[in-house]
Structure 1
Amino acid sequence: MSVFTQCPSRFSQFRCRLLVALTSVLVCSSCVNSHSRASLDFLDLLLRIAQDASDPPGDGTQRLLRATACDCLREMEASCPGLLSQRLELLAGLRQLETSRLHQAFGVLQILVLRNAVYQLTKQPGAGAAHLKALLGGNGSVVWEADQEAVHMDTKDAAMLLSLILGPMGRVPTLHTGPDCKELRSVLSSLLEESYLLTPLCQAALFHRLTEVVTMVPGIPPTVFRAQLLRLLGTNEVCLLHITLLMKCGFTDSLFSAEDEAFLLKRLVVLSQHPLLSSPEKLFYMDCILHFPENRPISCGDGDEAPPVLLTPRLASVLLPSVFNDSATLLSRLNLQALVFLEEGDEESRGLAYIYDHLAALLHIVDRGGSRDIVVTFFRAAFLFLFYFHHVERYATCLSEQLCHLYLQHTRLAPHILNLVNQTQERFPECKWFVGLLQGLQRVITRVPFGQLRLQDLSSHLKVLARVAEEEEICQRSSLGFLSTIVTQTSSSLCTSGDWRLGNGLLGVCRRVLLHPNLDSMLIPLADILQHLAFHYGDTDIRDHARLYYTLLTMLSREKLSAVLVQSAAEGGSQVKKRTLSCVMAESEGLTNTLTVHQTEKPIFQLSEALPGPHQEAENLQLNQEDDYKTLECYRTQLSKSGFASLVVLKYHLTHTEPHDPHFEQLFSIQLHFSHTDDHYEELQDINVPCLFRQGPPPVVQLTLKPRRPYPTTIHVSAIFTSKDGLTWHTAMPDIHVTFQQVFLPLPAPPTWSSASIRDVFEGLWDEMSRETGESCISLFCCQLGEAALKALVEKHFHSFLVSDPLEESAEFRALLFLPPKSHILLKISSTEDAAHFNMATDDYRLLPHMNSYLLKVTSSLENSVS
């Protein structure tokens, strides 16, 4: 604070930041709650600043400082409620006298202090009207010497102060003052009369705090808000309409008449479909309708969605869903309409028929190839319909039939349909609609002629049949007949193809049939299928599992078979836990560790860039002089070929990180996975490294990059490997940073070209780029380098790209950089008396910032060494 007092008044911004910093320190260090002397001095300083209205005309520095002081006071009052309760009269006077924009800040501060002070009075035994009157007229020092129990609040009280409007009155602490509350009524009336001067957000905060005060003081009737009610009911501000609903929730019919309630509900309905409002606003208003606080609520459930009694089907008809609505609006409207017609209780009503017709329209769009968003919306809408109307058998059966037809046309929808089955079973297990749907799916799948069965649909069919096999009520004979057909047909190539995924799907159905209660009646067909897979399937793993299942089926009783395949039944039902094929044996800790991919806590190894090998000079072959004029055209033709010189090969060493872990000194079967952070390069394939030993030479990993745009990039790397104890591990590796210069390549000229031909290409390209047509551009980079330092830089960084004639004694170096797939950067490097010049020409101006950064890096190091 001494820094603040010594700081000149003209540095208003700095003084404001000092006030904020001091407030943060005092609040975060609990000095305010511990009533320290520093906090007392700082509060006095803030109050003095807030009262100092001596701002020169045309100068707003003092007003800015006062606004900051007011915000700091509000923050300290919020962190220690009741801190300024003895200053209510002072704060009221400051608000009334203020004619600038600070009037709003003082008003918000006053109502916060008033609300906290009244709340603390409710916690004091025997407090009444006299205490409240003394509090409103108090203008003493800050309440440090007051009863600490009145100031200090436990966690429960602090949480309650966040919002005292928890529902209809009865849960809020009250202050019994009797009818003698004219001082408090006067303060509230003054605040309400000036509320229209505030911004909407501050008005909402003001009404919220005032509502809490009136709720805590029963002597003040809620009709004190009556004069403001008309303005609140007609507002188009979301925050003000929300606080109006909060007031209705707290005061019900003591403030809102039946006409007010009907008007407010109709206004919410209108706003929910107003064309000028955004979708989030309309969704908010629809949510307000579903949680509308009625004057005489029938339901007492907190948080339950239920339409108000006044929301009739006729009134709600303007909110009927349409296929032109966005997904969230459509589902929200469908949910509202379903609740309205559910309350009506007429299963033959036109409203229910409309909802189903709308669902059928969505299904038709999905059937015609709708987008993923439409597909997800349809299945969510179908779940909502079933959630409310699964008991209406006519519509439920029709929906099941349409879903079966939809699946047969679009088998890719199998995950969505199975998720709908699982969700309906979980939410209302007493309804057997999902069983009927599964039976219908089984029927349409098993009736597909073998000649019309597509291989790409078979995987989805097997997933559905595996889910069907989990239901005890469904007979599995037709499923086994379907499996027998597809694995034993002489014309079928399924077994000989050896597709592991399809084989796993077949075994998944068989495994669930093994757990079916009616297994005895299906023993022979199941055994035939497993035996055929064990002898004829093309994949060894599938044959082994089929042989194991066949052995278990023929050697064990049903009880022992279930004990092997299922470790424990699902709690509270007949469904069993789904387990992988690897868990067909008794589970043990060792088996679990072996089958689990473990995650390392830190990177185990890394890719470090390998040092480049010695530079090899290109063979200087001569080209006939008569062909020199065609060199650029020949190069252009060569460059236009697809895939020409479009790869960049980078070599790295795979090495252990430090500090090393003895457990990972010998690693095997390392699979490196790469993922790009941008789309500048084509995707990289995984790379397999046989082994990595700490004591042995590091293996070389070669990355072949195919640039789309030759920019710097970062590649995320991860790996899966096996340690020497046989466990499988996954580790994240340090990122690979591909720099701009790593993409530089020499000119991809034919091997028969001479150096003169390459210089001809350089000159031709330079002339084209100098015209600056299209994306071509020229630029100049300068730096402070002497002639010797410049030669050293060129020799170190651009030697491989030089196209200068060694026989010519020229002070200018020429370099040609090729950047895959088809970009070039040409350099003319020269030294003058005061600087080194890098004249650049490129056919892609977007490369210049990267080139400039690279030149800054390589030249600054030499400049530093010279200096």
Structure 2
Amino acid sequence: MHIKFLTCVLVGLTFSELGDLLFYMMNHYHDFDIRDQARFLYSLLTMVSDSKEKEIIGAAVVDVMHLGENIADFFHGSIIQTVPAEIHILESSPIKCQRENLEVVYHMDPEKTHRSISPNLDAALREYFEQLSHLETMLKCTFSASVVEDSDYSSLVSVEFQIGESKELTFSEDVFLPFLDKTEPGQVEYSVTPKIPGQATINFRVIFGHEKSTYQCDLEPIQFELKDFLVPFPWHVFNIADKKAFFDLHWTKCTDTNSEAHSGVESLKILKCSRQSLADLWSHAVLVKGDENDAAADDYFFFIPPSFHLLFHARTHSTNLVLHIASDYWPVLGQLDNFLDNLEFTS
């Protein structure tokens, strides 16, 4: 029965398909354990596949051995034990990775599925949200990677940077650098798609070769804060004629609890910085700059990828600056205090 089974199955095809599966798993899965196991099995499969095929075929004709047991034991060295490649774990990393730049990239995807849009919205807002449902927003995140100056590891090869799982963000595939040494830093670039904007900590590690050995170590986790997701509203992406009216429609949607289209939260914050200091700091997001008197207000309009908004009315009252806040993303309020307090500190 064993011989009949083997003669009917194309062993080479089986090995080829299995190799494709393992290669996909080690490149596309975000779980470190799965990728490590897939990498090990793929290496074993490609290095000793010919001898393994002969072992299985030879073992199949031995009455005391079962084909199922052979296949089950195959990956971990079934009959002739092989020594797997060893990965040395380092407690401290010889590589330092520093974030250099964060750039927002917008792309309209006509094939993206429409979200459900409230029928109670103003016609102008309905048209906008229909366009927004096709918007893909990515953060182009660039890191500078370099070998620590006093490290014993001078020239590294096959450097692979791996990102851990995150419920808040989706990262592009892992980045490979063929070579890295102390003379020149390398550039590591990821495309990041926000799912849940706000604070996030993502594990970061690196695997590299050095003097015929393979090493692995953790890097400093990647940190994202609310300020990384607050970008000026992308007017250039949407065809909006009256910006002030558009802002007011959003403000009403977030704050008017009597409106059927109401969807949002509002809050208030007293800042000790001057109105001009805030205007200078947020000049990229200012929509309306009021006159220099207590009755006037400055309007600021921020976009929070993937599809949320944060609006501010800044008005001077006595010696303080009163900041009226509105947003259609309520979790942002829990992070705004710290964000605005830091603005006070730097202003």
Structure 1 residue aligned with 2:252, among 759, 767, 774?
767
| Residues in 2 aligned to 1:855 and 1:844: alpha-carbon distance in whole angstroms | 17
| Residues in 1 aligned to 2:75 and 2:136: alpha-carbon distance in whole angstroms | 55
TM-score scaled by length of structure 1: 0.30
| Residues in 2 aligned to 1:752 and 1:824: alpha-carbon distance in whole angstroms | 14
CA gap 1:801/1:583 in 2 versus in 1, 3 angstroms: farther
Structure 1 residue aligned with 2:7, among 451, 465, 481?
481
RMSD: 3.7
SS of the residue aligned with 1:735? strand
Contact 1:675–1:683 (CA<8 Å) still a contact in 2?
Answer: no
Say yes or no: does 1:635 pair with 2:151.
no
| Residues in 2 aligned to 1:577 and 1:823: alpha-carbon distance in whole angstroms | 48
Deviation at 1:825, TM superposition (A): 0.5
Deviation at 1:638, TM superposition (A): 0.9
Percent sequence identity is 16
Contact 2:289–2:297 (CA<8 Å) still a contact in 1?
Answer: no
Contact 2:102–2:140 (CA<8 Å) still a contact in 1?
Answer: no
Say yes or no: does 1:672 pair with 2:161.
yes
Gaps of 5+ in 1: 1-442, 444-475, 489-493, 520-574, 614-628, 863-867
Structure 2 residue aligned with 1:714, among 201, 214, 229?
201
CA gap 1:843/1:487 in 2 versus in 1, 3 angstroms: same
Q: Match for residue 822 of structure 1?
A: 307
Question: 1:114-513, aligned counterparts within 5 Å?
Answer: 443=1, 476-483=2-9, 486=10, 494=13, 500=19, 504=45, 508-513=52-57
| Residues in 2 aligned to 1:771 and 1:778: alpha-carbon distance in whole angstroms | 10
Structure 2 residue aligned with 1:741, among 227, 237, 247?
227
Deviation at 1:684, TM superposition (A): 4.7
CA gap 1:719/1:809 in 2 versus in 1, 3 angstroms: same
Kindly provide the CA deviation profile for residues 87-143 of structure 1, in whole angstroms up to 9, marking residues without a partner as x. xxxxxxxxxxxxxxxxxxxxxxxxxxxxxxxxxxxxxxxxxxxxxxxxxxxxxxxxx
Structure 2 residue aligned with 1:784, among 272, 284, 309?
272
Q: Which has the larger radius of gyration?
A: 1
Say yes or no: does 1:686 pair with 2:174.
yes
Structure 1 residue aligned with 2:77, among 559, 575, 579?
579
Contact 2:137–2:193 (CA<8 Å) still a contact in 1?
Answer: yes
Letter in 1 for 2:213: L
Q: Match for residue 90 of structure 2?
A: 600
Q: Match for residue 758 of structure 1?
A: 243
TM-score scaled by length of structure 2: 0.70
Gaps of 5+ in 2: 22-41, 64-72, 104-121
SS of the residue aligned with 1:480? helix
Q: Match for residue 794 of structure 1?
A: 279
Deviation at 1:682, TM superposition (A): 3.1
Structure with the larger strand share? 2
Say yes or no: does 1:727 pair with 2:217.
no
Say yes or no: does 1:834 pair with 2:327.
no
Letter in 2 for 1:477: I
SS of the residue aligned with 1:782? strand
| Residues in 1 aligned to 2:328 and 2:79: alpha-carbon distance in whole angstroms | 58
| Residues in 2 aligned to 1:576 and 1:743: alpha-carbon distance in whole angstroms | 48
Letter in 2 for 1:784: K
| Residues in 2 aligned to 1:480 and 1:579: alpha-carbon distance in whole angstroms | 20
Say yes or no: does 1:702 pair with 2:189.
yes
CA gap 1:728/1:834 in 2 versus in 1, 3 angstroms: same
Letter in 1 for 2:255: S
SS of the residue aligned with 2:310? strand
